[in-house]
Amino acid sequence: MSYPQLTVHQLLRRPSCFFAGALMGFLLTRALVAPASAASSPTATGPFSIATQGRASCVIVRQAAATEAERHAAEELAAMLRQMTGATFAVRNALPASGRALIVGPGAIAKSLFPEIGLEQFGGEELVMRARGRYLLLAGGRPRGTLYAVSRFLQSLGVRWWAPWATDVPRRANLQVANLHVREKPAFEYRETFWYPAFDGEWAMRHFSNGKTARLTPQLGGQITYKGFVHTFYPLVSPELHFQQHPEWYSLVNGKRTAERGQLCLTNPQLRDFVVGRVRRWLRQAPDADIVSVSQNDWYGACECPDCKAVDDAEGSHAGTMLAFINYIAEKIEPEFPRVAIDTLAYQYTRRPPKTIKPRANVIVRLCSIECNFAEPLTHPSNAAFANDIRDWAKICNRLYIWDYTTNFAHYVQPHPNWFSLGPNVRFFQKHNVRGVFEQGAYQSHGSEMAELRAWVLARLLWNPKQDDRALISEFLRGYYGAAAPFIARYLNLMQASAKGFYLSCFSSPDAPFLKFAPLSQAEALWQQAEAAVKNDPDKLWRVRQGHLPVRYAWLSRWTQLRREALRQGATWPLPASRKAVADEWLAVATGPGPAGWSPMTQVNEPGLTPEKFVARFAQDPSEPAAAPTRATNPPSPADLAAELAAATGNGRAAVDIQDDAAQLHGEGDLAEMRADAKASDGAAVWMPGSHHEWALQIPTSKLPARALSGQWKVYTVVRVQPKAGAQNGDGANADAKANAFTAGIYDTEARVSRANVAVALDQTSAEYRSYLIGTVSFKAGQYLWVAPAANANVEAIWIDRIYLLPAK
């Protein structure tokens, strides 16, 4: 990359040179371009010259009492300017007798030359860039302001650190800076981009991150330090050590004290004082801690004892007992630890703020967005409930943090079109007085979908949310992918448009609408064009091939279903015919060599599935799918439910017939498949081999007719079981065949509990279709029905015709 001789302000006016059209917003949002002060030291007219024809025009001066971070800032500046100009810059501890000086950091020299700036009053991350006469000052508060000033200055000159392994440094033998006066501070006090590439300490420092996870040594400015980080109830009050002696310290759930997926009894006075003691010990062991986490476990199970229930009922939320508990601890520890804040969660069952209780000044509430629709910004109606929670917490909480979710934890390496929601959401946080943001992404290995883009864009936005996020995305694509950028930009727009109307969770499955054959085939074509565009640039080609992996992951995950879709549409298949060949190539790219600073993919999801195990499923090519079965219209109701159906007709609600074509099939072709079946009510059924126990057939409530979401229903699954040779259904089943043949249920994803389930033994089944009652429920959003075989060695296959709902009285 090279540019003609330009001043900093000329560079800032070029959209392609600074955050791709952010229109100087990042640099000048809080800044003032000021004329030279009459009080300046010996003057030199015109721009401040840094290098002329590849020779240094100034020296770098660091203060005598510079901190380790400020010394590193001066060294970073000298090294990067040398890369840019080819000149060697001397780093000194005193001003030269004559000539220009670039002064780094606060201290006596900065104070004498720029007394009006008042660096001693700066916040710890506030920065200033000031050029006047013979001097240019890059400095800030301690501990990180000077590092940030140098990084900001280098970025203003066109330096870009896209990823730990990808840096662009413009080459210019002549470099000048015009009159410059910029003063900035971050929008948020806590900024953590929790993506694997962002853990690199140098990268994190250069992008103004200060969260606990990045490798930010004191040389790199350090970081905000937590003692504990999240879900600390049981680390603080171990059930193994205390439950037997003090069951009253733990949740009362359904009339029983329990530590099994429970919480703490937050109104118990002895527990409160015990936790105060534990927190004090934690903090004495961690004297550098800024924040200590006292937060609920990662499940439900709030205490239902009379005292806890009374508080929560009065406050309209389980956050009532939580906040009263946290306030008590915060008050007790404050005299000994006046600078430490207590951090807790507003998460799932504690998400809504209480009516009257307010957090103390030394309490941080981290509000979690886990239930949101990430395809849309928080201003979208689908996210109204969470947006209102932010507004309501902001009214009562002086230190509101957000725990935001920016990946798909079930499928790190799968397209996840939330790219265009990131910027609007960060701006929403700032508008509503949020003080800290934790952007949780794919944090366990490299190779996750658009990890580098999200890390870079989010880091920029957390410093200054007023930037144009679309322009930042465009700049990243051009800088990181080069000539492939136009095709990848079209891909992002395609996926986002194809996700319209879909509720994109942070656990979305591979059967989302943007992963159907039509959009996915367009996506594949765009990535193939992207690879062709950079075929002669090895570095960019490697990056594009890594970026292509998520689309290929989607093809592999849904191969049989996508082949069937292509067959139905008469479309051309855009990949090699061999799934195994595609899988082998995918694995070679994901785990092959790469640049310094990068390491191969080790996990494709949060639970820990490795790339090797993911690909092992595709060791053999599947048979070609048959054409879709022809379905009969208006299938009859199940004959064995005739009596129940007749009894239910008097309540004014008709039965609901949910045929198998409403199902989402997981592992299609291997774990489940749609097949013609003359015995089925409409001539087709879902077939599943009896050898596994996966919930391979799922029907989310979003696929049910609207009337099914009103009232109570008796839920039946209509199934036939095909026994293996020598085994029998029903009363003829032998002793070995009395184990379960299949299971079925209704799962609530929000509460993470089963609402109904049934297990059916082989001796209760038939080779003909029968109806089996799963349970009586009231459906709501976020639930799904499922059916699974039971890994019974005597079962060849199960066939699921439909789900049938009868109105319950």
Predicted confidence (pLDDT) per residue in 276-330, tens digit = 999 999 999 999 999 999 999 999 999 999 999 999 999 999 999 999 999 999 9
pLDDT of residue 25 exceeding 70: no
* pLDDT at residue 343 in the model: 98
Cβ–Cβ < 8 Å for 256, 249: no
Q: Which two tokens stand for residue 181?
A: 């006066």
Average pLDDT of span 87-105:
95
- Output the DSSP codes for 294-341: ----SS-----SHHHHHHHHHHTSTHHHHHHHHHHHHHHHTTT-TT-E
pLDDT of residue 192 exceeding 70: yes
CA 107 distance to own-chain centroid: 41
DSSP category for residue 2: B
Average pLDDT of span 385-405:
98
Average pLDDT of span 788-800:
95
* pLDDT at residue 734 in the model: 57
Helices 319-333 and 306-315: angle between axes, nearest 10 degrees: 100
pLDDT of residue 583 exceeding 50: yes
Which H helix or E strand runs over 389?
Answer: helix 384-396
* pLDDT at residue 632 in the model: 85
* pLDDT at residue 354 in the model: 98
Residues 6+ apart with CB under 8 A from 171: 1, 2, 84, 85, 86
Q: Which two tokens stand for residue 116?
A: 């009006």
Distance CA 730, CA 764 (A): 5
- Label residue 625 by pLDDT band (50, 70, 90): confident
Distance CA 468, CA 488 (A): 19
* pLDDT at residue 15 in the model: 32
pLDDT of residue 44 exceeding 60: no
Helices 469-481 and 422-431: angle between axes, nearest 10 degrees: 140
- Label residue 554 by pLDDT band (50, 70, 90): very high
* Mean pLDDT over each residue of the chain, to the nearest integer: 92
808: which strand partners? none
Q: Which two tokens stand for residue 762?
A: 């082989």
- What's the whole-model pTM score? 0.82
Average pLDDT of span 190-210:
98
Most confident listed range (37-46, 49-58, 632-641): 49-58
Average pLDDT of span 203-215:
97
Higher-scoring residue by pLDDT: 654, 167: 167
pLDDT of residue 22 exceeding 80: no
Residues 6+ apart with CB under 8 A from 230: 293, 295, 298, 345, 366
Instruction: Tell me the per-residue pLDDT of 729-785, one tens digit each, with 9 for 90 and over.
Output: 775 555 455 799 999 999 998 888 999 999 999 999 999 999 999 999 999 988 999
DSSP category for residue 668: B
Higher-scoring residue by pLDDT: 568, 338: 338
pLDDT of residue 406 exceeding 60: yes
Distance CA 451, CA 197 (A): 7
- Output the DSSP codes for 158-190: T-EEEETTEEE--B-S-EEE-SEEEEE--S-SE
DSSP category for residue 14: -
Cβ–Cβ < 8 Å for 67, 98: no
What is the percent of the chain with per-residue pLDDT over 90, rounded to a whole number?
Answer: 85
Average pLDDT of span 563-570:
89
Cβ–Cβ < 8 Å for 737, 763: yes
- Label residue 674 by pLDDT band (50, 70, 90): confident
pLDDT of residue 516 exceeding 70: yes
pLDDT of residue 435 exceeding 90: yes
What is the percent of the chain with per-residue pLDDT over 70, rounded to a whole number?
Answer: 93
